[in-house]
A and B are shown apart, each in its own frame.
Chain A
Amino acid sequence: MTITINHYLIVSLLLFGIGFFGVLVRRNVLTVLMSIELMLNAVNLNLVAFSRRLSDLTGQVFSVFVITIAAGEAAIGLALTISLFRQKRTLNVEEADTMRG
């Protein structure tokens, strides 16, 4: 069986779906963050797959950028997590609803 771009896209879709699902339903901030990473990596996979298919390196370069930004995002996310924990003594995102209307 040859691996076509569809296979990559399906894996990517599954990863993204799992990630998105995690973001929506998990209560622990850490898990939410990890889910976001999953989504980002799904996007990366997508980018690289299309890059290969279209023989255009832009997609790969772009995915390197996404990885870099993801590192920054993780750092800020963890910093926010720590500061949330200090404020609320919990990592439950549902507790952090002070912006409620």
Chain B
Amino acid sequence: MRHYIWLIPLVPLAGFLINGLLYLVSHRTKGQAAHGDEEDGHGEAHAVPPVAGSHDTVHGHAAHVHIPFKSVHTAVGVGSVGIACLLAFGAIFDIGLKAFAAGASHSETLYRWFSLGVNQAVGQVPGPLKEWVVDVAFRLDALSALMLAFVTFVGFLIHVYSVGYMGHEEGYGRYFAYLNLFMFAMLVLVLGANFLMLFVGWEGVGLCSYLLIGYYYERNYAADAGKKAFVVNRIGDFGFILGIFAVFSLFGTLDFEKVFGAAAADPSSYAPYMTLVCLLLFVGACGKSAQFPLYVWLPDAMAGPTPVSALIHAATMVTAGVYMVARCNVFFRLAPEAMMVVAVVGAFTALFAATIGVAQNDIKKVLAYSTVSQLGYMFLACGVGAFTEGMFHVTTHSFFKACLFLGSGSVIHALAGEQDIRRMGGLASKIPTTYRTFLIATLTISGVPFLAAFFSKDAIKAAVYHAEFAPIPWLPKVLYAVALFTAGLTAFYMFRLLALTFWGHFRGGTEAEKDIHESPKTMTIPLIVLAFLSVVSGYVGVPILEGGNKIGEFLKPLRMPIAGRQEAAHHAPISVELALMGAAVAVAAVGIYLAWSWYAKGEGRVPALLVQRWPGVYRAVENKYFVDEAYDKVFVRGLALGGGNLLWEVDATVVDLIPNGAAAVTKGFSWVASFFDQYVVDGLVNGLADTLAALCGVFRKAQTGRVQNYALVMGGGLFCLVAVYLLFR
């Protein structure tokens, strides 16, 4: 099985090709037939899907769109990802979990992508690995096995869910084609054996993210959101690709195993460069994983269909940045300053996004900011050196956040496209399955004991608490406080969301209330599976207990030992561990209690009072601290117009004083100069030019533009050459 890992990404790619081509073909014939008896007979291949529903999709009632080849699209779209999932698990179990934990890995090189010549060392850069080749190669080790497992499995569940959710959409085939393409790119990203393969997948998922955010391309906000995501990601990718260049020029190869092996074996010669490399790579991670200040695209990305938000913008793609940082942990451990930047950015993003999440009224926006916040957590973990804990949280997060997003999709489906939680409420009894799974996932993300995120978040917080930064000794404690406070905020806004959506009474009007219906089986079964996983997935990382931290053991090979460094894993006393846990539980409990008493029991009176008391604060939070507006002013408009105007003003008033004065002086000189110029210099120049022109006239005449003349000259020339040869040989 392990020899077929290259098939894992290729199967979804085949699915993409089949679905895409079938959609194009069926759409063209259908378009012509439909336009035949319509007035606006523009024969475009892409007919515009029907626009209805306030936000997301046309759901449930009435919308019976005929979808050609629907069953084929379903079979290919879901089937290809299912096969990929089976292949993935087959390959993982073929090598064996124990072997992975012992450091086993398997690489498959398909072919040599390119080579740049041999041994052309650049300057004085150290390193013996000047290969200058890049292979198309896949690699399965502990880290990629973990990513592979949950990416394919969650991806498969979300494909199944999409069958129900997108069932009434005219762009069904297009949707599945994009989704399969995404799976292909994501699997290349995860399985790539070198930085360039990682980058190929990285860009591929970015493209699919753009395509799927703009799935409802006929609506301006969706198209704009897609463009925003693309542009903001380009900023990150710019840093990332510079980082890759730096790695290539330092090591002369991009292969993970060789690069990290070289860096770990000879830390003293590489360490000076690593801060720069790590910061550049982290810029890329910031873009893809929505960290401050490049997080702005993720909330807007909610314009895409909800399963897309679940798959790409919560469970898989946005964790690529964390994966990349964890993958490069050898580099980061050689660059403590860069680690500090990662930790601070992560902690700040976690807190910042969580505060915004408190005041959002769109069900998906709350979840989006929650995702940004949780990603901040993961980076915080990586920043303090707890890479395995970060990956643990990536895994559990992918389950419970996918469950939450799919649950929100089910709510939106039930309410025929409504996304505003102010017009929801009391849905618990109407859509019980959705409610139960959403409740479980909410309890999980809030950090309720013995559910998944309790273990993974606790592991991160413990690691932050025990972290050591030599330059700033008090920093870890501050970061710990931020993480703890964020955990409380998370519990608060998630229960606020739960209370406003499912508890109390329905606020959307009686008309809408009649139509509320539970989602079909294809949607509820993935929800149940994900809810189950978000309960049990934490038990692979139980702290304190002997041998409880299985995931830590599993990912141990990730932490390649660096030569000449002792990194003793310190075991904090159990009492400290328990105290940290107690603090986390207490904070979560406070958050849950506040949300419950304010929004469920108090029916929102306390928040209303708070808003009255501090309207400015509320407005700032509700409007996401005006970051988007600031970006618009400074970067978009500022650079386009304002910056230009400002520079012009400065130019006209300040700068011009100097030239005006200088001009008068220059004028005097220039009169003299012009005299000399006109008669002496020009005379020379023109004379030369005229001479040349006269000479050129002769050669110009030869260029007649007639082929036959040229042929004659060629023939004549050949004749002369042969004649000379024959005469003088």
User: What's the Cα separation between A96 and B709 when bound, in Å?
Assistant: 12
Stretch with Cβ within 8 A of B (4 or more), from A7-15, A17-25, A63-71: A17-25
Contact of A24 among B699, B701, B705, B712 (CB under 8 A): B712
A-B contact pairs, 28 of them (CB 8 A): A20-B715, A23-B708, A23-B711, A24-B708, A24-B711, A24-B712, A24-B715, A25-B708, A32-B708, A93-B708, A94-B706, A94-B708, A96-B706, A96-B707, A97-B704, A97-B705, A97-B706, A98-B705, A99-B703, A100-B703, A100-B705, A100-B706, A101-B699, A101-B700, A101-B702, A101-B703, A101-B704, A101-B705
A96: chain B residues at CB < 8 Å are: 705-707
Known interface pairs A23-B711, A100-B704; 11 further A-B residue pairs with C-beta atoms within 8 A, sorted by A's residue number: A20-B711, A23-B708, A32-B708, A93-B706, A93-B708, A94-B708, A97-B704, A97-B705, A100-B705, A101-B700, A101-B702
- Chain A residues whose C-beta falls within 8 Å of the C-beta of B704 in the assembled complex: 97, 100-101
Pair B701/A101 contact, Cβ less than 8 Å: yes
A24 CA to B708 CA, complexed, in Å: 5
Taking the closest CB of chain A, its distance from the CB of B370, in whole angstroms, is 62
Interface residues on B, range: 10 to 19
Distance from A27 Cβ to chain B, minimum over Cβ atoms (Å): 8
Partner among A23, A25, A99 whose Cβ is within 8 Å of the Cβ of B705 = A99
Chain B contacts for A100, CB-based, 8 A: 703-706
**Residue contact B702 to A93, C-beta cutoff 8 Å:** no
Cα–Cα distance between A98 and B702 once the two chains are bound (Å): 14
Instruction: List the 8 closest pairs (A to B, CB-CB), nearest first.
Output: A101-B703, A100-B705, A97-B705, A99-B705, A101-B700, A97-B706, A24-B712, A24-B708
Instruction: Encode B705-721 as 1/0 by CB contact (under 8 A) with A.
Output: 11110011001000000
A47-92, CB < 8 A from B: none
Measured CB to CB, the residues of B under 8 A from A are 699-708, 711-712, 715
CA distance A93 to B712 in the complex (A): 14
Among B702, B705, B712, B715, the one with the most A-chain Cβ atoms within 10 Å of its Cβ is B705
Closest to A99 in B: B705
Give min CB distance, B724 to chain A, whole Å. 20
Q: How far is the CA of A69 from the CA of B705 in the complex (A)?
A: 26
Interface centre among A23, A25, A98, A101 (most CB of B within 10 A): A101
Chain A residues with CB below 8 A from B711, complex form: 20, 23-24
With A20-B715, A24-B712, A24-B715 known as contacts, the answer to whether A93 contacts B705 (CB < 8 A) is: no
Q: Which residue of A lies closest to B701 (CB)?
A: A101
Q: A-B pairs with CB below 8 Å: how many?
A: 36
Alpha-carbon distance A96/B710, docked complex (angstroms): 13
- In the complex, what distance in Å separates the CA atom of A101 from the CA atom of B707? 13
Q: Which of B701, B707, B715 contacts A93 (CB 8 A)?
A: B707
Specify which chain A residues have a CB less than 8 angstroms from the CB of B700 in the assembled complex.
Answer: 101
C-alpha spacing A24/B703, complex, angstroms? 16
Task: For B701, list chain A residues within 8 Å (CB).
Answer: 101
**Across the interface, which residues of B come within 8 angstroms of A101, CB to CB?**
699-705
> Closest Cβ of chain A: how far from B336's Cβ, in Å?
65
A57 and B703 alpha carbons, distance in the complex (Å): 42
B-side contacts of A24, CB under 8 Å? 708, 711-712, 715
Q: How far is the CB of B725 from chain A (nearest CB, A)?
A: 17
In the bound assembly, the distance between CA atoms of A20 and B711 in angstroms comes to 9
> What distance in Å separates the Cβ of A37 from its nearest Cβ neighbour in chain B?
15
A23 to B713, CA, bound (A): 12
Task: Report the minimal beta-carbon distance from B706 to chain A, rounded to whole angstroms.
Answer: 5
Residues of A within 8 A of B715 (CB): 20, 24
Residue of B700, B702, B704, B707 ringed by the most chain A CB atoms within 10 A: B707
- A100–B712 alpha-carbon span in the complex (Å): 16
Q: How far is the CA of A100 from the CA of B703 in the complex (A)?
A: 5
B713 CB to nearest chain A CB (Å): 10
Q: Which residues of B contact A23 (CB under 8 A)?
A: 708, 711
Q: Complex Cα distance A100/B699, Å?
A: 12
B704 to chain A, nearest CB (A): 6
Residues in B neighbouring A98, C-beta threshold 8 A: 705
Contact residues in A for B707 (Cβ distance below 8 Å): 32, 93, 96
A93→B699 CA distance, assembly (Å): 22
CA distance A33 to B22 in the complex (A): 45
A60→B700 CA distance, assembly (Å): 43
Bound Cα distance A101, B704 (Å): 6
Which residues of chain B are near A32, meaning CB under 8 Å? 707-708
Nearest residue, chain A, Cβ from B699? A101
Chain A, range 27-51, C-beta contacts under 8 Å to B: 32
Separation of A93 and B703 alpha carbons in the complex (Å): 15
Please measure, in the bound complex, the distance between the C-alpha atom of A100 and the C-alpha atom of B707, giving whole angstroms: 10
Alpha-carbon distance A99/B700, docked complex (angstroms): 11
Alpha-carbon distance A34/B705, docked complex (angstroms): 21
Q: How far is the CA of A94 from the CA of B702 in the complex (A)?
A: 15
Q: CA of A98 to CA of B705 in the docked complex: distance in angstroms?
A: 6
Q: In the complex, what residue of chain B is closest to A25 when comparing beta carbons?
A: B708
Q: How far is the CB of B694 from chain A (nearest CB, A)?
A: 15
A15 CB to nearest B CB, Å: 15
Give A101 to B712 CA distance when docked, in angstroms: 18
Residues of A near B703 (CB, < 8 A) are 99-101
With CB as the reference atom, state the residue of chain B lying closest to A26. Answer: B708
**Cβ-closest chain A residue relative to B707:** A93
Chain B nearest CB from A63 CB (Å) reads 21
Nearest chain A residue, comparing its CB with the CB of B702: A101
For B706, give the chain A residue with the smallest CB separation.
A97
A94 to B704, CA, bound (A): 10
Residue of B nearest to A23 (CB): B711
Tell which of A24, A32, A98 has the most Cβ of chain B within 10 Å. A24
In the complex, A94 Cα to B706 Cα: how many Å? Answer: 6
Q: How distant is A80 from chain B, measured CB to nearest CB, in Å? A: 11
Task: For the complex, give the distance between the alpha carbons of A23 and B707 in Å.
Answer: 9
Q: How far is the CA of A101 from the CA of B703 in the complex (A)?
A: 5
Chain A residues with CB under 8 A of B712: 24
Bound-state Cα–Cα, A66 to B169, Å? 58
**Which B-chain residue is minimally distant from A21 (CB atoms)?**
B715
Which residues of chain A are near B702, meaning CB under 8 Å?
A: 101
- Shortest Cβ distance from A26 into chain B, in angstroms? 8
Q: How far is the CA of A44 from the CA of B314 in the complex (A)?
A: 69
Residues of B within 8 A of A99 (CB): 703, 705
What CA separation (Å) do A98 and B707 show in the bound complex?
11
Hey, which chain B residues are within 8 Å of A94, CB to CB? 706, 708
Would you give the shortest CB distance from A25 to chain B, in whole angstroms?
Answer: 7
